[in-house]
Amino acid sequence: MKTVRHEFVEYIPEKLEEGVVYISVSYGTVAHSCCCGCGMEVSTPLSPTDWKLTYDGESISLYPSIGNWNFPCKSHYWITNNKIRWAGQWNNKEIKEGQQQDRFEKAVYYEKKRSTASKEDRKLVEETKEESHVSANGIWGKLKKWLANL
């Protein structure tokens, strides 16, 4: 198999046709039958820490490469502009490094996300505090006026 064709779908079908890359934008996932022909289903979720899909209007590319180290075939290839470029099998060291790199990137990404999230939370807390401060002032002001009018 040297090329694939892509198909935009709502749901990834249960039976994947060989040589077809199914893309579900709504579910942010891409699936295809392993390009070596072994029939294993390869699922490549799209996310900032998983795969990125490029669609140029005619063909698709997936980044990074697809390393099926969990399959008996252990195939490894790139899909670039609907062409399959074989990248050679992973050796055990590469598999380990790849997994470590993956874990590392995920950890960095979620740490970044977490720290911005907590910053936003803090901002929200500050804003709420300010608001309650203002409204307390308002009540206090009214109370003072009321007292002055007594």
In the block, tokens 């203002």 appear at: 134
Terminal Cα distance for the chain, rounded: 92
- In whole angstroms, the minimum distance from the beta carbon of 42 to Zn ion comes to 8
Look up residue 139 and give its amino acid: I
Binding mask 81-110 for Zn ion (x = CB under 5 A): ------------------------------
Binding mask 58-77 for Zn ion (x = CB under 5 A): ---------------x-x--
Q: Which residue among 16, 21, 31, 34 contacts Zn ion (CB under 5 A)? A: 34
Neighbours of 24 (CB within 10 A): 17
Q: Considering the complex, state which of residue 3 and residue 135 has its C-beta at the smaller distance from Zn ion.
A: 3
CA distances from residue 82 to 1, 47, 111, 147 in whole angstroms, order as listed: 11, 20, 34, 79
- In whole angstroms, the minimum distance from the beta carbon of 71 to Zn ion comes to 5
